[in-house]
């Protein structure tokens, strides 16, 4: 019976993740433009036709319509389908690895916010304060919960993160990035990190705790270096053009959220 309830709850939450993926497309499009995310209702940007509910079903509507507006046949960017599918898979991964609790719900919501940050920062090189604030709120919720239930239980093990580790992670990560910001500005006379990155890493530290957020910082730097190396080899790297660091922070944070404790444990066993 418990197994059946667990499966039903996981499927229900996965469907919620799919619906949230649809909402993420609204955030990704409207937040950088300063638009209201609730009004006007979803519509075609070319012909302004209001999108009917049956044309707004995650994944299904895109496939049924062939990726085009029903009215004017304007092509719908594949990103809309990809974001919905990606958010579903991100939620499924969280639900598969963690028992249902405040932690798993917070991690699932965090994965959605991180996905939005990846697309917004990559295209506009900004991280909206509203998204950073959402991550911080999730961090506060996890921190308060850890006072009473510090054990993060998973389908393959468990880990304990105490409340002060969350606070240390938030304060320490933000302080580290602030130091890097001022030091780089002092030496190079220009900004090396954006304010959104500093706010994001502080909020992530609050969610992950100091151990996992340190791993996140290191992993994001490695991912960024790999990206820059590939771009240089491809001849597409412009040293004078700034690049968004938020997507690498977001990707590293998600990986550390899922596997950080295992990687830290492996490192400690090796060394």
Residue-wise pLDDT for 77-109, tens only, equals 999 999 999 999 999 999 999 988 999 999 999
Residue-wise pLDDT for 144-177, tens only, equals 999 999 988 876 667 889 999 999 999 999 999 9
Considering only residues 209 and 263, tell me which one the structure prediction assigns the higher pLDDT: 209
pTM of the full structure: 0.94
Angle at 13 between CA 101 and CA 149, to 5 degrees: 5
Residue-wise pLDDT for 121-141, tens only, equals 999 999 999 999 999 999 999
Tell me the C-alpha distance between 200 and 154, whole Å.
Answer: 26
Which of 87, 42, 89, 96 has the alpha carbon at shortest distance from 69? 42
Cβ 40 vs Cβ 49: under 8 Å? no
Residue-wise pLDDT for 190-234, tens only, equals 888 889 999 999 999 999 999 999 999 999 999 999 999 999 999
What's the whole-number average pLDDT of the chain?
91
Cβ 113 vs Cβ 16: under 8 Å? no
Q: Write down the H helix ranges in the chain.
A: 2-30, 60-64, 78-97, 102-124, 129-148, 163-188, 195-208, 210-233, 246-270
Cβ 117 vs Cβ 127: under 8 Å? yes
How far apart, in Å, do the first and last CA atoms of the chain sit? Answer: 44
> Percent of the chain scored above 90 by pLDDT?
65
Q: Tokens for 140?
A: 């506060």
Domain ranges of the chain: 1-89, 98-271
């Amino acid at each position: 019976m418990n197994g059946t309830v667990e499966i039903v709850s996981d499927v229900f939450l996965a469907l919620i993740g799919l619906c949230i993926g649809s909402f993420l497309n609204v955030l990704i499009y409207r937040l950088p433009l300063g638009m209201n995310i609730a009004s006007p209702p979803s519509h075609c940007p070319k012909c302004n036709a209001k999108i009917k509910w049956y044309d707004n079903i995650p994944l299904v509507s895109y496939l049924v319509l062939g990726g085009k507006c029903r009215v004017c046949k304007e092509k719908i960017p594949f990103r809309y389908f990809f974001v919905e599918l990606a958010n579903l898979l991100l939620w499924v991964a969280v639900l598969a690895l963690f028992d249902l609790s405040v932690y798993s719900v917070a991690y699932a919501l965090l994965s959605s916010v991180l996905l939005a940050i990846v697309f917004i920062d990559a295209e506009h090189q900004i991280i909206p304060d509203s998204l950073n604030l959402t991550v911080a709120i999730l961090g506060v919720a996890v921190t308060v919960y850890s006072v009473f239930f510090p054990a993060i239980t998973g389908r393959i093990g468990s880990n304990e993160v105490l409340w002060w580790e969350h606070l240390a992670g938030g304060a320490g990560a933000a302080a580290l990035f602030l130091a890097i910001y001022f030091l780089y500005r002092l030496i190079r006379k220009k900004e090396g990190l954006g304010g959104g990155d500093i706010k994001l890493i502080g909020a992530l530290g609050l969610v992950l705790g100091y151990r996992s957020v340190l791993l996140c910082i290191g992993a994001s730097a490695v991912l960024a270096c790999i990206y820059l190396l590939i771009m240089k080899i491809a001849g597409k790297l412009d040293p004078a053009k700034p690049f968004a660091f938020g997507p690498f922070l977001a990707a590293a944070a998600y990986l550390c959220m899922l596997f950080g404790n295992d990687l830290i444990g492996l490192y400690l066993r090796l060394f």
